[in-house]
Amino acid sequence: MTNMLFDALFAPLAGRDSPFLILGDGSSLSGDAFLRMVARQANALAGQGLAKGDRLAVQVAKSPGALALYGAAVALGAVFLPLNTAYTAAEVDYFLGNATPRLFVCDGDKAAALAPVADRNGARLLTLNADGTGDIADLAALAPDRITPAGCGADDLAAFLYTSGTTGRSKGAMLTQGNLLSNAGVLVREWRFTAKDVLLHALPIFHTHGLFVASNVSLLSGGAMIFLPGFDAAQVMALMPKATAMMGVPTFYTRLLDDPALTRAATAHMRVFISGSAPLLAETHDAWAARTGHRILERYGMTETNMNTSNPYDGERRAGTVGFPLPGVELRILTEGREAAPEEVGMIEVRGPNVFQGYWQMPDKTREELRPDGWFITGDLGKRDADGYVHIVGRAKDLVITGGYNVYPKEVELLLDEVPGVLESAVIGLPHPDFGEAVFAVLVPQKGAALDPQAVLAAIAGRLAKFKQPKGAVVVDSLPRNTMGKVQKNILRDTYRTRFSG
């Protein structure tokens, strides 16, 4: 029997003596050794009762063993549920209660706190530590290093990824083997990955970016990964000479730009730098190009869809845009029930083999966001320019409606970011007694700059209609971000919600 995802990603590692994972300490794991690790873990998990269709929840530090758990779940036809390592026991309680996994793997130092949570939700608790020790390692050491994978096809579930849940409870997006494999195949082709590539991997693997984009692309192309536990600018610079490609979030690139060692010579051997998970400022894009001669390739994806669009590998990589729909992915922008004209803002919808199957145990939410004909309503507002490049304007929930007029935060943020001394900004809507909502700006200064909020607002006043102009501003050291670098505007709204309403 075939298992399409295992057969494409993991089976080709058999007999491969060359490194697949290169670790920060200089050691490496060959492709064949990693496949044997996957097989031993799969057999160990099967011995604990994990079978096709069961959920495997995992909250562990990034390590070769953690990545092998993903492969083991695929081999068994189980549904892999990676959880952010920052989640508290109370948050984990919700995920286990919703997903009802048969097994839950956590770090050993959290086992005591999480054992009651696992028990309450009917999950058997096992441990796996960053150094490779723990229950999983002990069980795997006694298990065979070969496995016959469970038969799985395109429609079999492979993973649950939970949304961030900034507006209500997190939703478990159900992704199939076909969803994951189709997207990985397109990205390998579009971004020109081959077995000669070595990907610098400093992303977490509980998120679609590090797991289903970076890792799946490397596995499918037969390449290798420099597999780091996290992002450290000095370590990334030291290891970059061994790499050909890097995937990162915008903060990776802004931090590397602070390092004087980042030069054209230092990056001359690199083939491509890719950014995603949060908007990349045009300023960062241009600064990177000036320093390195490389134009960062920005793309756009979601938990529910993996990747939807990408700037071209060959052709103009346009700053401030996310390029064009990937082959096989349809994208439309609707406003008032019709297709938006060029430069007209509307709601982005996508359809294709990458789009998820719905939200686990939330049929009403699924019906709200996934149309019967397969179009997924992303919740992102965007537009196409005259050349067809897609621009992300912001989340629909971040739209500010002031005095009956719509204000798109991105339009205001772009102008604020151009003011001398402003590093970046976030524009939000706050309750206002007269206007319903008032536009408000949160400003971050460049290093060494002293910002006067009112002077910054005055600098853009002549470039915006009155209703779009912020009615107040504040200067902060940094913007709150999630693990993937995305600005958490819900936190800003909570922090400043009484600014105009008393």
- Tell me the per-residue pLDDT of 87-109, one tens digit each, with 9 for 90 and over: 889 889 999 999 999 999 999 99
The whole-model pTM stands at 0.88
Per-residue confidence (pLDDT) for residue 197, from 0 to 100: 98
Instruction: Give the C-alpha separation, 295 to 397, whole Å.
Output: 31
Q: What percent of the chain has pLDDT over 70?
A: 99
Report pLDDT for 502.
Answer: 62
> What SS3 state is found at 198?
strand
Sequence-separated (6 or more) residues with CB below 8 Å from residue 279: 250, 392
Backbone angles phi, psi at 89, to 5 degrees: -60, -40
One-character DSSP codes across 200-221? EE-S-SSSHIIIIIIIHHHHHH
pLDDT in tens, 390-427: 999 888 888 888 877 778 888 899 899 999 999 999 99
User: What's the rounded Cα separation, in Å, for the pair 179 and 414?
Assistant: 34
Contact 84, 107 (CB under 8 A): no
pLDDT grade, residue 164 (50/70/90)? low
Candidate ranges 14-28, 280-294, 462-476; pick with highest mean pLDDT:
14-28
**Most confidently modeled of 176-180, 436-440, 479-483?**
176-180
* Residue position matching structure tokens 């390692």: 137
Cβ atoms within 10 Å, residue 495: 15
Cα–Cα distance for residue pair 182/175, rounded to 1 Å: 11
Question: For 353-378, how does the pLDDT look when each residue is reduced to its tens digit (9 = 90+)?
Answer: 999 999 999 999 999 999 999 999 99
Give the range among 9-13, 33-37, 161-165 with minimum mean pLDDT: 161-165
Which residues are 227's β-sheet partners? 23, 201
Q: What does the chain come to in residues?
A: 502
Taking alpha carbons only, the member of 315, 316, 298 closest to residue 307 is 298
What is the CATH number that goes with domain 399-495?
A: 3.30.300.30
What pLDDT is recorded for position 166?
Answer: 47
What confidence tens digit (pLDDT) does each residue in 300-345 have? 999 999 999 999 999 999 999 999 999 999 999 999 889 999 999 9
Mean pLDDT of the chain: 94
- Residue ranges of the domains in the chain? 399-495
